[in-house]
Amino acid sequence: MEKNPKNPPIDRVDGRMKVTGGAKYFAEFEMPKMAYCVIVGSTIARGSITGIQTKKAEASPGVLGVFTHLNRPPIPGWDSPVTGNANGPAPAPPSGGETYRILSGKEILFDGQPVAMVVADTFERATYAASLVKVSYAKQTPHTEVGKNLSKAVTPKGPRFADYARGDRKALESAPVQLESSYSIPIEVHNPMELHGILAHWTGPEEIMIYAKTQGVMATQQAMARAFKIDAKGIRVHTEFMGGGFGMGLRTWPQEVATVAIARKLGRPVKLLMTRSQMFTLVGHRPYTLQTIRMGADANGKLLGIVHEATAETASYEDFTEATVNMTRFMYESAYLETRYKIVPLDRSVPIWMRGPGEATGAFALESAMDEMAHQLKMDPIEFRLKNYTETDPERNRPFSAKNLKEGYERGAKAIGWNQRKSEPASIREGDWLVGYGMGTGTFNASRGQATVRAILKSDGSLTVQCAVTDIGPGTGTAMTLVAHQVLGVPLDRIKVEYGDTTLPPGPMQGGSTVTSTVGSAVMDTCTLIKKELAQLATGAGGPLQGQNPEDLVLEEGQLYAGNNPSKKVSLLELMQQSNVPVIDKTQLSKGGDEQQKYSMYSFSLHFVQVNVHALTGAVKVTKAISIADAGRIVSPKTAASQMIGGAVGGIGMALTEEALIDHRLGRFVNNNFGDYHVPVHADVPAIETILIDKPDPYINPMGAKGMGEIAIIGFAAAVANAVFNATGKRIRDLPITPDKLIGLV
Ligand code: MOS
């Protein structure tokens, strides 16, 4: 990582706490008389319950309750009609259709569907009792395969998903160079290290204390308010630390709501902690998706048309949608452009956003096709992209707020040693290993939401910054600390950030790469208010810098001075003490203006990889990786680089190992455990170099910073597939690129 002398990297502010066990995750909280809840999942994927025997479980030691569809405690937002309730149904699904209403009836909609929730005084007793619940079913044949159910595909409602076309189709039809390729990505699961669950306790008739694993404490609070038809004010949700989310914590899941209902019924705290295999079924996944790209170009490499189609799975009960094809509309200049997106309802649990949702899938197809076309044209893949580069957004016909991909292509090519790449595939061999190079581009929407931040500066020199946002791991607390430090000059070790609790000022959920832009700007705005007040104190009558223009004052390392006369200065603490102001306490709501209407705002990324492919076994190793972020000004260089590295590791998994497999005869997973679902381990991951372009976006927000959580993975899998093609001459269009797809190269 290159260093910016004006913004030196700092360690994660919560790093020490995390590695020493001081950071408390939801499952580590204990409460007096706490009970444990364990889920029993269905063993069929479609059909209905014909009988359920719970007596043995109920009689098992320590058991406090066995809840099924026959006796599930009320969830008023589901159980009574919700028409006319301004709160809406509880909790509403994120895209469309119906949320699965847990333990509501006999019908089985997906494999692993909770059919009973067993509560006991210890986790072990609950787990044992759960094994005693016997369920009989009337089975039906499940439909779980996208490819065999294409006749059910529908275009989801909403303008984002409607069929899209612009330009003249004839340009594509008459293009001298043509390409049509189909791609697939398997089901992938988030599977963060921390297991999912919730701990809930009703502390009053309309008061709940909740420790959850959520990417948004306020979103969980709202969902529970709707579910139980009580005022959100009575519900406190706490998630200060989260052991990874990647999207699975962006909604409140039915089993969380049921646990809260059970806690009310039993009148004691109840903790639900899911198993690893339940993490495959009950908290969403990246949907299996089929894609086809048709592309046409002229002999000089000008794109004349792109048609990008995607068909993804969803559940029979809920529509899950993501913008899989949308980046194709603006990434490159093309005379004709068409996209289509469809979803197929299956007897499966519903997908949810997973890191780089939509774009990570779409970029695999688009960036693979770009490489295929470059090869057909006998052009260098970077040159081909530059040939079709666009400085303005061709979809919306307006400028990008900032786009520095040209610089990225240049720096990435240099860093990976692109000049060593041979355009003829399978040209470089080192012993038994074939060597290849590839690259891929990523993009994700950049925006700024709304947040309220409170900042409290005390005359003892301490600063506390508060917002209800959750930090799921990227280093939001560190970024907030740095922004406050940059505005107020308070030393880093005197700044404390507080987040992840609904008692704090309202903040957004952590998702969609928006938090640094949103909360960082709010920290900046609130701290700027404090700075203004300090300037008034200093320059006002009797102040130590009386007569100076408050606009000219500079704050650095605890000192306030006139920019044009640095010898006249006063320390913040002296100023506050002299002025008899023990504390300056400001709260400010902060949000963007209409910049989003004037500019197209995206973050961009580039991934360059070198792979070695074993000529005999087909094993692929990523031997070098460079990930580049064009995400505006970088607020926290060290955590930003870590964010890119984490995304690249996820990208290696997506490219080479990750695949949740279903036995379609049964509609069940066969590898729902970490032994068989392969994520990259240390030996699979080279030292990943990150390049942060670090040029402010002039329009997005006053900091000029955009998000990078999603772009870290988007485009990476294509870079690997393209490198594998360059190494071997074999084009793998179905992820993951496992050795069986390459074996027999010699
Ligand atoms: Mo991200 S998929 O918005 O957690």
pLDDT in tens, 484-510: 999 999 999 999 999 999 999 999 999
Instruction: Report pLDDT for 551.
Output: 87
First to last CA, the chain: 38
User: Residue 643 C-alpha to ligand 1 middle, in angstroms?
Assistant: 13
Tens of pLDDT along 412-426?
999 999 999 999 999
- How far apart (Å, rounded) are the C-alpha atoms in residues 459 and 571? 10
Residue 353 CA: nearest ligand 1 atom is 2
> What pLDDT score does 84 carry?
42
CA nearest ligand 1 atom 4, residue = 247
Select the more confidently predicted residue: 554 or 670.
670
The whole-number pLDDT of residue 83 equals 44
pLDDT band for 541, please (50, 70, 90 cuts).
Answer: confident
pLDDT digits (tens, 9 = 90+) for 603-649: 999 999 999 999 999 999 999 999 999 999 999 999 999 999 999 99
Burial class (CB in 10 A: 0-12, 13-18, 19+), 465: buried
Pocket-testing residue among 189, 213, 214, 250, ligand 1, by greatest number of atoms within 8 A of Cβ: 250
From ligand 1's centre to the CA of 441, what distance in Å? Answer: 19
Q: Residues of the chain with pLDDT > 70: what percent? A: 98
Position 82 scores a pLDDT of 46
Pick from 213, 239, 355, 361 the residue to mutate for probing ligand 1's pocket: most ligand atoms within 8 Å of its CB: 355
pLDDT tens-digit profile of 1-15?
Answer: 667 778 889 999 999
DSSP result, 244-307: --TTTTSS--HHHHHHHHHHHHHTS-EEEE--TTGGGTSS--BPPEEEEEEEEE-TTS-EEEEE
55: confidence class by pLDDT, cuts 50, 70, 90? very high
- Give the nearest ligand 1 atom to 246 CA: 4
Reduced to 3 states (helix: H, G, I; strand: E, B; else coil), residue 531 is: helix
Q: Which atom of ligand 1 is nearest to the CA of 247?
A: 4
The mean pLDDT value of the chain amounts to 95
pLDDT of residue 89: 66
- The pLDDT score that the predictor gives to residue 494 is 95
| Of 609, 612, 610, the residue nearest 433 (C-alpha) | 612
Lowest pLDDT segment from 73-82, 152-161, 181-190: 73-82
The best mutation among 353, 518, 603 to test binding of ligand 1, ranked by most ligand atoms within 8 Å of the C-beta, falls on: 353
- Token couple for 457: 């500066």
C-alpha 356 – ligand 1 centre gap (Å): 7
If phi over 0 gives left and psi between -120 and 50 gives alpha, with beta otherwise, what is residue 83?
A: beta
Q: Relative to the CA of 248, which ligand 1 atom is closest?
A: 4
CA of 443 to the centre of ligand 1 (A): 14
User: Residue 88: its pLDDT value, please?
Assistant: 60
| Mean pLDDT along residues 223-233 | 96
Instruction: Please give the distance, rounded to the nearest whole angstrom, from the Cα atom of residue 252 to the centre of ligand 1.
Output: 14
pLDDT of residue 1: 60
Residues with CB under 6 A from ligand 1: 215, 245-247, 250, 353-355, 357, 511-512
Please give the number of the atom of ligand 1 that sits closest to the Cα of 512.
Answer: 3
- What are the pLDDT digits (tens) for 256-287? 999 999 999 999 999 999 999 999 999 999 99
Determine if the pTM surpasses 0.85: yes
Atom of ligand 1 nearest to the CA of 511: 3
Q: Which residues contact 84 (CB under 8 A, 6 or more apart)?
A: none
By residue count, the chain amounts to 746
How many Å apart are CA 305 and CA 337, to the nearest integer? 6
Whether a cis peptide bond, with omega within 30° of 0, leads into 736 is yes
Using CA atoms, how far apart are residues 62 and 59, in angstroms rounded to an integer? 8
Q: What is the pLDDT of residue 85?
A: 45
Question: What's the gap in Å between 84 CA and the centre of ligand 1?
Answer: 32
Q: State which amino acid sits at residue 357.
A: P
pLDDT at site 568 = 84
At residue 395, the pLDDT reads 97
pLDDT for the residue 652:
98
Which of 76-85, 263-272, 587-596, 725-734 comes out lowest in average pLDDT? 76-85
Q: SS3 of 187, please? A: strand
CA of 249 to the centre of ligand 1 (A): 8
pLDDT tens figures, 83-130: 444 556 677 788 888 888 999 999 999 999 999 999 999 999 999 999
Task: Give yes or no for residue 557 having a pLDDT over 50.
Answer: yes
Residue 51: count of CB within 10 angstroms of its CB: 10
Between CA 353 and CA 647 the distance in angstroms is 15
**Ligand 1 centre from 322 Cα, in Å?**
12
Encoded amino acid at 364, one letter: F
pLDDT tier at 325, thresholds 50, 70, 90 = very high
Active site amino acids: 710
